[in-house]
A and B are shown apart, each in its own frame.
Chain A
Amino acid sequence: MKSKKSSLPIILGILLVVYSLSIIIPFIWSIFASFKNIIEFSLYPFELPKNYRFENYINAFSKLYIPVPYEGSFRKVYMWEMLFNSVVYSLGCTIMATLTPCLTAYVVVKYNNWLNKYIYGIVIITIILPIVGNLPSEIQLVKFLGIYDSIFGIWIMKLSFANFYFLIFYSTFKSLSWEYAEAAIIDGAGHWKIMTRIMMPLVKPTILAVGLLFFINFWNDYYTPMVYLKSMPTVAYGLFHYSKTAAGASFIPMQLAGCMIVFIPIFILFLLFRNKLIGNLTMGGIKG
């Protein structure tokens, strides 16, 4: 029996086309605008650029700066340093944020211990129970511990296991058989060796997918560096701050060039790992 032709796909298709255009067009416009100089941009915002100038991009490295408090007064932080900060921040936080739930879920799944059900319970409660308005208390505590405005402080804050990704790793490890380890135990392998040389490689796809998501998230995050790490601005925070200063707010093409600089590393990562990102995060159930 042939299924009745419904108009749903067509309507949705049109909506999706409209939506996609609404994403692509501003994006392409921004790319073109980043090649215009400021006068041309003010006069002709909507046309294609008459000459393609890279001066905005070059200037983004020499003129785009934000003032950072330093020993009583200010120093200027430019793009290269912000890029370096972004890499350090993103890489460090990704390693912490990915490995912590991964290792914790591993021992909870594979080893018997009275703590296991409490750890699992903590994760569930943390996810379900909404707590609002922690920011002032957190800032106070961070300052009290002396890790405010320190990259190590941020790394420690990311060393958290009680989140949704714990559950992802939990179900991934649950579907792994312990038999792989038993062969190694007979050969005299210790727990550490089993974990690093046998179990971790088996979950490499999940670690990669979660790590990529985290990295993209941290690279794009301007909120946390703004609150906790003012002296080491990342590119995202730098761009945000710059766009709000008097000098930057009027210099729109350069801001858009800065936007592209923030975006391009992520775009490269996205191209390289596209298949692994979309569709590799399953929570329970084995994908055939």
Chain B
Amino acid sequence: MGKKENIKNEQNKIIYFLALPFKQIYKLVLDTIYNIQVAIHEKALKNNKVKAAGMGQKRRKELTFYYCIVALPLLQFLIFYVGVNINSILLAFKSYKINEMGIGAYSYTGFSNFSIFINDIFNNVMLKSMMNNSFLIYGIGLVVGIPLSILFSYYLYKKFLFSKTFNILLFFPSIISSVVMVLMYQYFIDRAIPGMMFNIFGIKIDPPLSITSMVFPLVVFFNLWSGFGVSVLMYSSAMSRIPESIVECAKIEGISKIKELWYITLPLIYPTITTFLVAGTAGIASIFTNQSNLYTFFGEAADSKLYTFGYYLFVKVIGTKATLADYPYAAAAGLIFTAIVAPVTIAVRWALEKFGPVTEY
């Protein structure tokens, strides 16, 4: 409070006063136009030139307005959601062949893509490591990321020391582009840390990202480290909706902060936690879609031991070596993943809702 607020108020005042005449003129013009239109309408009503809209006409105008507004979004939905998904299903059953004249075409080949992919999963070594990596990243996010996010959010919610500063700092990574975050992180680790070790401790170390065994942990750490902003924002706003009365009641009873977190805060934000666990970018589906920024780090050239499912399918479709023939394979893989993930998500969601704390407020 105090000085900073005063300075900010001064600045706001200057901007306000500068803009004031323009705002007033703008408002005046719009209001005059509105008043003129109202006057015209009333005069026309008086002279019986315009019928006060009867029920039929009123409903028709309403419907026209409604359909005008929803037409484009619905059309877009039909094309880019329904259409894309139907095409995806169809694509999974096709294969792309180039005939003698050099012209390529898609033709239906039944379940061949699926069998190739399932075969790959069980026999291809690379896909096995992909599976490990994908599940590992999800697991670490689940076991480390979510509790830490909740704890940090709790700190901000309780407005402990420096909360305002931490709030801004936690939010920072989410407004910085992932390209920028990755580049800063990469160069800091590869250049600044060896430099620091040498200057301060006199130890010479290799750039950490060039040590193959360090790369995967460093990437996983990056994903955790840069991902706090969004989840903390979610949990904070959920916690801020908890009614004060419950908290005060508990305080009177002399509850400790940890107990309050476990017995009051967590159950009351349980729906938010469920949503985060199950859907969205950190949800179960992310096992198969998460590239964990591998593309941002390495482009196409990530070491094959680092691959995750998301990265693999992405490079298959977007990479420079990708051809139209790869699309059906990727579509089939996507279909298989969806067939696994969708029921699991719904089942987990049902289970969480059934066996979790029931809270309504």
A191:B284 contact, CB within 8 angstroms = no
A46:B155 contact, CB within 8 angstroms = no
B66:A113 contact, CB within 8 angstroms = yes
Which of A111, A130, A137 touches B283 (beta carbons < 8 Å)? A130
List of B residues within 8 angstroms of A50 by Cβ: none
List of A residues within 8 angstroms of B73 by Cβ: 100, 103-104, 159-161
Q: Which stretch in A60-68, A72-80, A237-245 binds the other chain?
A: A237-245
* With known contacts A130-B285, A188-B41, A188-B42, A122–B327 Cβ distance under 8 A: no
List of A residues within 8 angstroms of B192 by Cβ: 26, 29, 33, 45-46
B333:A226 contact, CB within 8 angstroms = no
Please give the distance in Å from A146's CB to the nearest CB on chain B.
13
A4 at the interface (CB under 8 A from B): yes
B175:A216 contact, CB within 8 angstroms = yes
User: Which B60-81 residues have C-beta < 8 A from chain A?
Assistant: 61-63, 65-66, 69-70, 72-74, 76-77, 79-81
B70:A115 contact, CB within 8 angstroms = yes
A1 at the interface (CB under 8 A from B): yes
B180:A2 contact, CB within 8 angstroms = no
Q: How far is it, in angstroms, between the C-alpha of A239 and the C-alpha of B178 when the chains are bound?
A: 11
B256:A6 contact, CB within 8 angstroms = yes
B289 at the interface (CB under 8 A from A): yes
Q: Tell me the nearest residue of chain A to B167, going by C-beta.
A: A278
A279:B160 contact, CB within 8 angstroms = no
Q: Tell me the nearest residue of chain B to A122, going by C-beta.
A: B77
Please give the distance in Å from B236's CB to the nearest CB on chain A.
8
User: Which B211-265 residues have C-beta < 8 A from chain A?
Assistant: 225, 228, 233, 236-237, 240-241, 251-258, 261
List of B residues within 8 angstroms of A191 by Cβ: 61-62, 65
* With known contacts A3-B254, A9-B158, A130–B177 Cβ distance under 8 A: no
List of B residues within 8 angstroms of A161 by Cβ: 73, 76-77
B180:A9 contact, CB within 8 angstroms = no
Q: Tell me the nearest residue of chain A to B341, going by C-beta.
A: A130
* Interface size grouping (class) on chain B: 35 or more
Q: How far is it, in angstroms, between the C-alpha of A232 and the C-alpha of B184 when the chains are bound?
A: 25
A151 at the interface (CB under 8 A from B): no
B111 at the interface (CB under 8 A from A): no
List of B residues within 8 angstroms of A45 by Cβ: 191-192, 194-195
List of B residues within 8 angstroms of A187 by Cβ: 38, 41
Which of A26, A103, A219, A243 touches B69 (beta carbons < 8 Å)? A103
List of A residues within 8 angstroms of B170 by Cβ: 16, 19-20
Q: Which stretch in A51-59, A173-181, A262-270 binds the other chain?
A: A262-270
B258:A6 contact, CB within 8 angstroms = yes
Q: Mark A123-145, 1 if CB is under 8 A from B, else 0.
A: 00011111111111111110001
A70 at the interface (CB under 8 A from B): no
B76:A159 contact, CB within 8 angstroms = yes
Q: How far is it, in angstroms, between the C-alpha of A77 and the C-alpha of B299 when the chains are bound?
A: 20
A274 at the interface (CB under 8 A from B): yes
Q: How far is it, in angstroms, between the C-alpha of A169 and the C-alpha of B206 when the chains are bound?
A: 52
B346 at the interface (CB under 8 A from A): yes
User: Which B145-198 residues have C-beta < 8 A from chain A?
Assistant: 148, 151-152, 154-155, 158, 160-162, 165-173, 175-180, 183-185, 187-188, 191-192, 194-196, 198
B131 at the interface (CB under 8 A from A): no
A104:B70 contact, CB within 8 angstroms = yes
Please give the distance in Å from A75's CB to the nearest CB on chain B.
19
A88 at the interface (CB under 8 A from B): no
List of B residues within 8 angstroms of A263 by Cβ: 176-177, 180
B342:A129 contact, CB within 8 angstroms = yes
List of A residues within 8 angstroms of B294 by Cβ: none
B112 at the interface (CB under 8 A from A): no
List of A residues within 8 angstroms of B115 by Cβ: none
Q: Mark A76-107, 1 if CB is under 8 A from B, else 0.
A: 00000000000000000000000010011011
Interface residues of A (CB under 8 A from B): 1-4, 6, 8-9, 12-13, 15-16, 19-20, 22-27, 29-30, 33, 41, 44-47, 100, 103-104, 106-108, 111, 113, 115, 119, 122, 126-141, 145, 156-157, 159-162, 187-188, 190-192, 197, 216, 219-222, 226-227, 236, 239-240, 243-244, 252, 255-256, 259, 262-263, 266-267, 270, 274, 277-279, 281-282, 285
A-B contact pairs, 6 of them (CB 8 A): A2-B254, A16-B162, A45-B192, A130-B345, A133-B313, A136-B331
Nearest 5 pairs of A and B residues by beta carbon: A133-B334, A46-B195, A130-B285, A220-B177, A188-B41
Given A12-B154, A262-B180, 14 other A-B residues pairs in contact with their CB atoms under 8 A: A13-B160, A15-B148, A27-B184, A131-B85, A133-B331, A135-B313, A136-B88, A136-B328, A160-B77, A188-B37, A197-B34, A222-B177, A255-B187, A266-B175
